[in-house]
Amino acid sequence: MVQEFDKVGVVGLGTMGAGIAEVFARAGFNVVGVEIDQAALDRGRGHVDRSLSRAVSKDKITEEERAEIDARLTFSTSREDLSDADFVVEAVPERMDVKRDVFGDLDRICPPGTILATNTSSLSVTEIAALTDRPEKVVGLHFFNPAPVMKLAEVVTTVSTSPETVDVVTEVAKRVGKTPVAVADRAGFVANALLVPYINDAVRLYERGVATREEIDESVKKAAGLPMGPLTLADLVGLDVCLAVMDVLWDEFRDPRYAAAPLLRRMVAAGRLGRKAGEGFYSSGDQTPERPRTNRLAEMVREEETLDLGEMLLAPQIDDAMRMVGDGYASAKDVDTAMRFGCGYPKGPTELLEERGAESVITTLVAMAEYGLTTIAVPAPLLMDLLPDAEEGPSHGGCACH
């Protein structure tokens, strides 16, 4: 079925949508990119041109290959040009009213057999599918930024998605060079449900004066070998995006774990959205490291032998991952795959647990709770199950969930 695919549509050519269009064109599909007006279309075409130019300059593709990719790309301001598309990916802004307009049009314009995919990272795929008369052919296909580089694609199914649609979309994801992880429709899916609360935790520690922004970022880079710390990552992702994901998680689960840090909400209200605004936790004019802020809580935390700053950020994320596995939402392998290929982690959460042992992670969580630094009152049951048992259990606290 995948081999019969020829024409792919991409609606919305912002940074993500343009990247998705490029991904499909590179994989040999004929792609029609659609935007709302000529100005937006020109910006989208510019995103693709710059990305391909970088690929040529870095010897990722040749000039001849670029010409072939360009030949497979066409651009339009009319959704009607998708009337013969086999597969369409929507990548418009994360607003349900905008998506309602897009999917209403696509459902009317596209043939009954066309699969419609949404790249949403935070909205309900089930609700989006219900906007159409073909919910069995609607699926989430969540790429990660930058789409031509990041290898993960979350394939998100609803209660209405047909098995045939899931199979086709999974194969399409593989054909465009991505590693697919199939999950059910749930707020945050896998990657964002694990990544954004971790960023939120970092904001809370910074807000309470436990450490400076540099100390927070460097501690996690050192502890887990991450390419950047959580506050730098927040600036890159966009603080408004982080807040939106936290609010979606809160709306679905109503768990204190998913309450956005007050500072995050205030910074968004002030327009300090990160790199795209020129100012976030760091600003484009920063020249020297921030001076350490100290308060009574920070001094007590620094004196607590069981608390390491990097582990204080990793332990809750490991706990979140173990809850996800314990709930049966995702396997340990899928959790690790999502974080490695979607978020650039050298090792996934359950692999980090394997290194540290359950006892160490639980000790950190308990100590954090004593200082009011986490809303996790009791560690995940699956994490507790991994504690060493004097008579029967393993002689270490490693992860046995793979």
Alpha helix stretches (DSSP H) within 327-357: 332-343, 349-356
If one counts every other C-beta atom within 10 angstroms of the C-beta of residue 286, the result is 11
121 is catalytic: yes
145 is catalytic: no
Query: What would you report as the CA-atom Rg of the chain, rounded to the nearest whole angstrom?
Result: 22
By C-alpha distance, which of 71, 70, 62, 74 is closest to 32? 74
Q: Which token pair is 342?
A: 């979607």
200 is catalytic: no
Q: How many alpha carbons lie under 13 Å from residue 299 in its C-beta half-sphere? A: 3
Reported for 37-46, long-range contacts at CB under 8 A and 24+ positions apart, including other chains, are 37/77, 38/77, 40/13, 41/13, 41/75, 41/76, 41/77, 43/13, 43/14, 44/13, 44/14, 44/17, 44/18, 44/75, 45/13, 45/18, 45/75
Per DSSP, the three-state class of 134 is coil
Dihedrals phi, psi of 190, to nearest 5 degrees:
-95, -60
**CA distances, 232 to each of 8, 274, 374, 391 (Å):** 35, 9, 21, 45
Q: Is the omega angle on the peptide bond into residue 135 within 30 degrees of 0, that is, cis? A: no
Name the catalytic one among 119, 121, 122, 219: 121
Dihedrals phi, psi of 181, to nearest 5 degrees:
-125, 120
Name the catalytic one among 22, 119, 142, 351: 142
Name the catalytic one among 192, 200, 215, 279: 192
Name the catalytic one among 90, 154, 215, 311: 154
DSSP 185: S
Alpha helix stretches (DSSP H) within 254-385: 262-269, 296-303, 309-326, 332-343, 349-356, 358-370, 381-384
Cα-based torsion angle of the residue sequence 162, 167, 171, 173 in order, rounded to the nearest 10 degrees: 50
80 is catalytic: no
By the 8 A CB rule, do 104 and 157 touch? no
Residues belonging to the active site: 121, 142, 154, 192
